Chain A
Amino acid sequence: MQASPTEYRSNTAWFVTGMRGIISIPAIILMTSFVGFSAFALESGITRAEAVFMTLSVWALPAKMILIGTMASGAPVAASFLAVTLSSIRMMPMVASIMPEMRNERSPTWLLLFLSHFVAITSWVFAMQHMQAVPRDRRLAYFGGFAITLTLLNGVIVGVCYGIVAQFPPIVAGALFMLTPIYFFASIWASARHSVVKLAFIVGVIGGPLMATIEPRFDILYVGIGGGTAAYLIDRYLIRNRTSKSPRAEPREELP
């Protein structure tokens, strides 16, 4: 299979190879989640055109959920902006952590800025898993092939499924709605490489519904900032203090 030297393959060839990543379990689950999202958008009073526009422009599923949630509750634009911005802070470390692997010294900044739009959980996990096997100067084409195709295809899925989902029997519509949270539960836990993420995961799962009953307007912000900070402090002073004494952590500290 690998008979032809990989360095002679063109950007177009690598773009197509990236596109083929669409046929993978994470990508297919994400597409099914977007079928569920189109049902969620319909039930929340978002029109088809708005749902498609949201898919292409926002792309990240949690951010869209929060955007629809705040829009549906009639919150002012500034409140929606704040809630979505806070939920999307995670994009920064996600993008920043794959950039050093993805770029080379000749990569134009505008192209990196453009491609960063297509980063979300699924494409990030895909990049982390497959990027190493691609020659460095072809990685942008490879990632673009996968991530751009995934975004556009899901835009089409939302546009096509928006009306169809309305005709689904309640059990199917309910199962599709639940698919998105189920997918997040599994994929976020599976992609967590730091103990602090798993701790914050647990804090969020317990704190979210709990705070929603106590302070429904700012529950997400309280759990995010308050709960997240608590998780960080517990992780730093209780969990990592112990594990940092293990020999595995030592070579890291020896690095200049």
Chain B
Amino acid sequence: MTESWWWVFLVIAVAGWLATDIWRWLGVIVGNRLDEDSEGLQWVRAVATALVMAVTAKLVVFPTGTIADAPLWLRAGAVGIGFVAFLIAGQRVIVCVVVSLVCLVSGLLIV
């Protein structure tokens, strides 16, 4: 009943666009006044990071699409090895990406 072509766009505009830009605009307004070391900001940082990482970890553990057929140990192992390599290599993002993907792809070819 509500499945008109524009309905999904409206959902994206309200639940996506507005829901994210509210915080960006608030960030501009708070701007200079916000104390970078305040406790409130520390808490917000903690909540935001836990939230994003929960989503990210769920993508690895419960993925959708073809990668869901690969065993969990391979997906988690590839990311884990890549992350350890990233920490050893002085936190260079590219190291994590390359090592994880090499482990994942070689694992997919073998398993």
Residue ranges of A at the interface with B (Cβ–Cβ < 8 Å): 25-26, 29, 39-40, 43-44, 47, 50, 53-54, 57-60, 62-67, 69-71, 77, 80-81, 84-97, 99-100, 103, 109, 112-113, 116-117, 119, 170-171, 173-175, 177-190, 192, 194, 196-197, 199-201, 203-209, 211-212, 219-221, 223-225, 227-229, 231-232, 235-236, 252
Contacts and interface: CB of A to CB of B under 8 A. Distances in A.
Contacts of B100: 178, 182
B93 A236 contact: no
A169 to B, nearest CB: 9
Contact of A57 (B16, B34, B55): B16
Contact of A181 (B36, B66, B69, B79): B79
Interface of B: 8-9, 11-28, 30-32, 34, 36-37, 39, 41-67, 69-70, 75, 78-79, 82-83, 86, 91-97, 100-101, 104-105, 108-109
Contact of B28 (A90, A93, A95): A95
Contact of B48 (A113, A174, A187, A228): A228
Given A63-B20, A67-B15, A209-B61, A93 B45 contact: yes
Contacts of A44: 64
B28 A40 contact: no
B46 A109 contact: no
Contacts of B95: 186
B64 A205 contact: no
Contacts of B13: 57
B97 A81 contact: no
B12 to A, nearest CB: 5
Nearest to B25: A113
